[in-house]
Structure 1
């Protein structure tokens, strides 16, 4: 199946309405996630550490620049965050076998254990939240959400490009 170039397809009024609804629910979801992250941070669980550990487990040992690119973050920011995680014993630097001058980042056993413990707690809490859903509804929601996340990930560079331009008020003041 050939997918058309979605950036050149004319949008209908329904498409725009659906985009608005989706933007609204994603904004609300983002606010809820930010609230959870803030509370977790106060309890000593750093969301950035979890993201970096999860990424390193998924992609395997990699350079800091690759990690920054994978998580869509600034290399200097990632470098500072990595230094803190190395100090905490959650990430380690290994010699790059292809270039002895460079190092690869990898999660330590303690980092993997932290990631697994956080995933288990989060999964248990989500399971409690949706346990009243009909199993077929939950299966369908998960299937569609996974599909959405795949599309979102593939479209992310375009989304960033389309949304990164500043919006100015009509009066010319920003």
Structure 2
């Protein structure tokens, strides 16, 4: 349990753990950026992969729903989706609920690309922890999945607390 004081304030020990975890996540992000930079030389950048993965997870969706799911601006997502459509990884379909609108859907080629990427990534990550005791790997996975669930549940708060205020919010 956290050592929260009066008013829900965190203790110095909790803040230190938060700093250590933030530093670890930042370090992992830098390492992942190196992997993503290498992968983008193969044709797709990280943001395109995120959109494609999200679209596969959601199923056929409107562009606005996809943008909301990845916490991005609809115009940015629209530009990125255009590249995925051009590359044959995503297709536009008529929306049966509204003939004037279209739905975005991953193509078989897009799904196959993600499956191949996931298999390569799983193999690479398995190699990273191959020297760990299996029980340690299992414990790490369980705790990391728990962290991700809590992170998702607190995402709106994280965005609010971590992002600087927009200029329109009184910051000049």
After TM superposition, the score normalised by the length of structure 1 is 0.88
> Would you say 1:90 and 2:89 are equivalent positions?
yes
> Would you say 1:140 and 2:139 are equivalent positions?
yes
Distance of 2:131 and 2:56 partners within structure 1:
32
1:172 corresponds to: none
Distance of 1:78 and 1:24 partners within structure 2:
29
Runs of at least 4 residues of structure 1 off by over 4 A? none
Secondary structure of 1:93's match? strand
Distance of 2:164 and 2:47 partners within structure 1:
25
Distance of 2:62 and 2:8 partners within structure 1:
38
Distance of 1:38 and 1:50 partners within structure 2:
12
Distance of 1:153 and 1:11 partners within structure 2:
20
1:43 shift after superposition: 2.8
Runs (5+) with no aligned partner, structure 1: 1-7, 167-174
Distance of 1:46 and 1:102 partners within structure 2:
27
For residues 45-78 of structure 1, the C-alpha deviation after alignment (integer angstroms, 9 at most, x for no partner) is 4222221121111111110000011011111110
1:154 shift after superposition: 1.3
Runs (5+) with no aligned partner, structure 2: 1-6, 166-172
> Would you say 1:47 and 2:50 are equivalent positions?
no
Distance of 1:27 and 1:43 partners within structure 2:
25
> Would you say 1:119 and 2:118 are equivalent positions?
yes
For residues 138-163 of structure 1, the C-alpha deviation after alignment (integer angstroms, 9 at most, x for no partner) is 00000111111111111111101101
RMSD: 1.4
Distance of 2:28 and 2:123 partners within structure 1:
19
- Which aligned pairs between 1:21-100 and structure 2 lie closer than 5 A? 21-100=20-99
Distance of 2:24 and 2:55 partners within structure 1:
29
Distance of 2:8 and 2:66 partners within structure 1:
33
Distance of 1:60 and 1:105 partners within structure 2:
8
